[in-house]
Amino acid sequence: MTRRVAITGCPVAHSRSPVIHRHWLALHGIDGTYDRVEVKPEDAPAFYRDIAAHGLSGCNVTVPNKEAAAAACDELDDAARVMGAVNTISLDADGRVLGSNTDGLGFLGNLDQEVPGWDGEVRHAVVLGAGGAARAVIWALLSRGVKKVSVVNRTKSKAEDLCARFGADSIACDWDDLGEILGETDLLVNTTSLGMAGQPALDLSLSRLPETAIVNDIVYVPLETPLLADARARGLRAVDGLGMLLHQAVPGFERWFGVRPRVTDELRAALLADLGAAS
């Protein structure tokens, strides 16, 4: 029987997830579909309680429904519980609704692929931003054993709230102290929307970063942000955000369709072509 899966949220027209999952469905010759289904926030609690009633074996969840989806699940994985947000839903054999959050795994999968062994050398990571994506990145870094995560955000109170959620290994810092903090940074991650197409660039000098530092911008439109260009100009290792988007899709596909897919150059090129066509 054809297994139907979808990206759900409101709006969903912009989502690139169908490109990724349809690529893998075709590659592996799987009898499945992956579509876009708009779910209005007021319909979200009932929808996620019973996705089978909508003909779905599983789904992804995007804004603004991630918290409502978490509340509707029978069981959450560790990441979804800590983040209070679900982006991937599957059903177990008894029809129970299982919620997970794979954004953090996507972040880790990207770094693992681009800088193998990074976690052996990163003791101190600095995360810029304190929104939904920062939450996933902080969870991921701590889950990998990074000793200290400094969180720097325009609105410091949001960074403080996040750090209270994650415990003593995460510390909210002032933006004004960033210059000094960068001197002791092994990994810098931008999770703000600065540098994204239509947004101002991130105005930050990287001159204090050690030569061994890694810079990861999770913004992926454009692929080469001014931050990454600066990092490369300084000879630092620079990692773009497209791989995070690709890798976050892996666990869901495996759960729904029983095959662990790979993030290949071919898939990356397909997504880049689609993003080019969409912009």
Contact positions toward ligand NAP, by CB under 6 A?
103, 106, 129-134, 153-155, 158, 191-194, 196, 218-220, 241, 244-245, 248
Minimum CB distance to ligand NAP, residue 206 (Å): 17
Q: Which is nearer to ligand NAP, 59 or 130 (CB)?
A: 130
Q: Which is nearer to ligand NAP, 3 or 132 (CB)?
A: 132
Question: Which residues make Cβ contacts (< 8 Å) with residue 178, sequence separation at least 6?
Answer: 126, 152, 204
What residues does 59 pair with on adjacent strands?
A: 6, 89
The catalytic residue positions are 66
Q: Which is nearer to ligand NAP, 97 or 267 (CB)?
A: 267
Question: Which residues make Cβ contacts (< 8 Å) with residue 19, sequence separation at least 6?
Answer: 270, 271, 274
Eight-class DSSP state of 202: P
Minimum CB distance to ligand NAP, residue 221 (Å): 7
What residues does 21 pair with on adjacent strands?
A: none
Dihedral sign (CA 191, 144, 252, 22): positive
Residue at shortest CB range from ligand NAP: 131
Q: Which is nearer to ligand NAP, 76 or 134 (CB)?
A: 134
CA distance 67 to 72: 9
Dihedral, CA of residue 78, residue 144, residue 224 and residue 212, to nearest 10? 160
Q: Which is nearer to ligand NAP, 123 or 206 (CB)?
A: 206
CB atoms within 10 A of CB 100: 23
> CA gyration radius for the chain?
19
Minimum CB distance to ligand NAP, residue 107 (Å): 8
Minimum CB distance to ligand NAP, residue 257 (Å): 21
CA distance 74 to 49: 8
**Which H or E run includes 233?**
helix 226-233
Cβ(45)–Cβ(239) under 8 Å?
Answer: no
Minimum CB distance to ligand NAP, residue 160 (Å): 11
